[in-house]
Chain A
Amino acid sequence: MPPIRTRLLITLTGFGLVLAATILTGPLIGSTHISLSRVFDRTLAFADNADAQIFFIARLPRVLAGALVGASLAAAGVVFQALLRNPLATPDTLGVSSGAALGAMLAITLHINVTAFGVSSVPVASFAGSIGALGIVYALASARRRGLSTIVLLLGGVTMTAFFQALILFTQYLADFADTFRTVRWLMGTLDVGSYGPILAALPIVLVAFALLSTLPRSLDLISLGADAAAARGVDVVAAERFALASASLATGAAVSLAGPVGFIGLVVPHLVRLIVGSDHRLVLPASALFGASFLIVCDAVARTVWPSGELPVGIITALIGGPFFLWLLVRK
């Protein structure tokens, strides 16, 4: 087998090219026909150029949001699966997504209406919700003994998810009719973020998360074999687990606050990537981020064009493609 550097180079080039191709073709696809030469026609004022507006205001932000959200959720999926030593773990498993959803529900139904840096209160509240959920789960898991107990983390996360779901239902029950409708729509997820503001707001958080993640792959390889085995090989398990939990949760919180909960990316993409590159996290983690980005951009292109009268929520497409595919993976093994 070639050395890891060569394999990493091949993997990054391959998945990088796929992502570049989807980012370049993504904005060309849509329900309206636009002419590329008109889009880049400098003689027309931007305000007069509907084609350019569709390209730069309607489509490009979606593609970029798709890349950011897809990369974050897929990478978070890899980390949670390794950290919890459970192939079924997803970014939703530890309650971070539900916490984000509860934050958004509260911002919608309580009409908290503050805009800061081009970001409305709903994404801010949902990010705060995800951090709150992370804090609770983290405190639970580290309460009993030194380090994070995987089983407490898992059970605590599942319980938190159920608890947050109940609070979400309660919020919806109390809400005004139109607000209930908005909360339901939010829960379906959408990449139609409307401008670059929300993307720019989420970007620093995602970058911090990825910077933390980039220190993890070696430790994750060993942790996924077992905490004791990792410790025996000189990994500071407690520190690595804390880093992993915090960075994956940050990425998840940023993604969910930007696009709402988009399912299946965090579950399917890591498994698919492992089929291609093997189980070394030095390869799986970057490849999953790149492929998650491409996968979500493609799903959104399908969501934007497949339905004749409007658009489908992208979460429906990721589930329709991801669900059967994952079942096939299960049976195949």
Chain B
Amino acid sequence: MTVAHRAIAAKRRAAALIASTVAVAVLLAAIVSASARTTVIGQQPSRPERIVSLIPAVTEMIYAMGDGARVAAVSNYDHFPADVARLPRVGGLLDPSVERILAIKPDLVIVYATQKELIERQDRARIPYFSYQHKALPDIMTTIRAIGARIGSSAQAESVASAMQRSLGEIRAKAAGLPRPATLLVFERDPSSLRNVFASGGYGFLHDMLEIAGGRNVFADVKKQAVQASTEMLIASKPDVIIELLYGDSLKNADIAKELRAWDALASVPAVRTHRILALTGDEFVVPGPRVVDATRKLARAIHPDAFQ
């Protein structure tokens, strides 16, 4: 190798070194600026004005706080309060439409904790979100307070939550002195038959509501939200009271009196013999929001008609 060749090779090495240094520097700068941008965008407005609620219960909570005007879009399943009819719909728990959510330009999206994919995509789109999960009745009040804190309405949220706690406490106290009939709480079955009966198990907000209302859940030992009760389980559980919840489409098409006659097949069940089979209608039984107080009161009235007028 000649001297000239060596010089060229050295120049090439130097050029490569400079090029790679520049490349690394550019990359570092990009990372730094990107992370800086993340933090800037990550600073969420403390008082969101365009809230997207993907869960009917959350919509009801925000309206109960008096902040309904700040809700910009709701889920496909929102019906309450009537004011939500004016709002755009952006999908549901299982099929939220990211495109529609983005088009709303929300400054806060409230999601359920199981909506993992949606959360990831919102992270990528840098949309602030608030996620929560419910297991039992007290969680509703916890969530109301947490959402209140997140949207800058702590005081209103506190008054909603504590009023709910007070009312539920009153129902519990009033029912406490009364006998506790064995109660079967059915929320789903095939029309005109006792096939595919689903009842509240000993866990979840329906069970909690039933216990507060002064009923003893016949499936309290089954630590699940939903129990599929076979005919044998229905007979063996010997409920004194059977309460059926009807809501949504199952209510729209049901001839309630005719539906309840399906139970006549189980003549040995105490509730059938004493005709203590009731249908309760309305979606407040399946929306774990502020209206659970009304729902619990209706349950108490069904179980103890004399005490709860």
Contact = CB atoms under 8 A, between A and B. Distances in A.
B127 to A, nearest CB: 25
Contacts of B229: 310
Q: Is the interface of A mostly helix, strand, loop or mixed?
A: helix
A182 interface: yes
Given A58-B235, A176-B248, A309-B222, A192 B192 contact: no
A306 to B, nearest CB: 13
A30 B265 contact: no
A99 B159 CA distance: 55
B188 A178 contact: yes
B228 interface: yes
A180 to B, nearest CB: 9
Interface string A106-150: 000001010100001010000000000000000000000000000
A179 interface: yes
B236 A181 contact: no
Contact of B228 (A58, A120, A176, A310): A310
Contact of B222 (A181, A195, A310): A310
Interface string A193-204: 111000000000
A31 to B, nearest CB: 6
Contacts of A311: 228, 230, 233
Contact of A194 (B92, B195, B223, B249): B195
Contact of B194 (A47, A111, A194): A194
A193 B197 CA distance: 11
Given A54-B235, A311-B228, A192 B265 contact: no
Contacts of B233: 31-32, 310-311
B253 interface: yes
Given A182-B196, A311-B230, A53 B266 contact: yes
Nearest to B238: A50
A122 B191 CA distance: 10
Nearest to A175: B249
B193 interface: yes
Contacts of A310: 222, 227-230, 233
Interface string B209-251: 0000000000001111001111111111010000000001110
Q: State which size class the interface on A falls in.
A: 35 or more
Contacts of B223: 309
Nearest to A113: B191
B266 A190 contact: no
B188 A194 contact: no
Contacts of B252: 111
B253 A195 contact: no
A45 B11 CA distance: 108
A328 interface: no
A59 interface: yes
Contacts of B227: 309-310
A182 B190 contact: yes
Interface in A198-227: none
Contacts of A304: 230, 232
B267 interface: yes
Nearest to A47: B267
A285 B196 CA distance: 33
A103 to B, nearest CB: 15
Given A113-B192, A120-B190, A309-B224, A57 B235 contact: yes
A185 interface: yes
A47 B273 contact: yes
Contacts of B273: 47
Contacts of B195: 190, 192-194
B132 interface: no
A185 B235 contact: no
A46 B193 CA distance: 20
A194 B229 CA distance: 11
A120 B228 CA distance: 20
Most buried by B among A59, A122, A192, A304: A192
Interface of B: 77, 92, 188, 190-196, 201, 221-224, 227-236, 238, 248-250, 252-253, 265-268, 273
Interface of A: 30-32, 46-50, 52-54, 57-59, 61, 111, 113, 115, 120, 122, 176-179, 181-182, 185-186, 190, 192-195, 304, 309-311
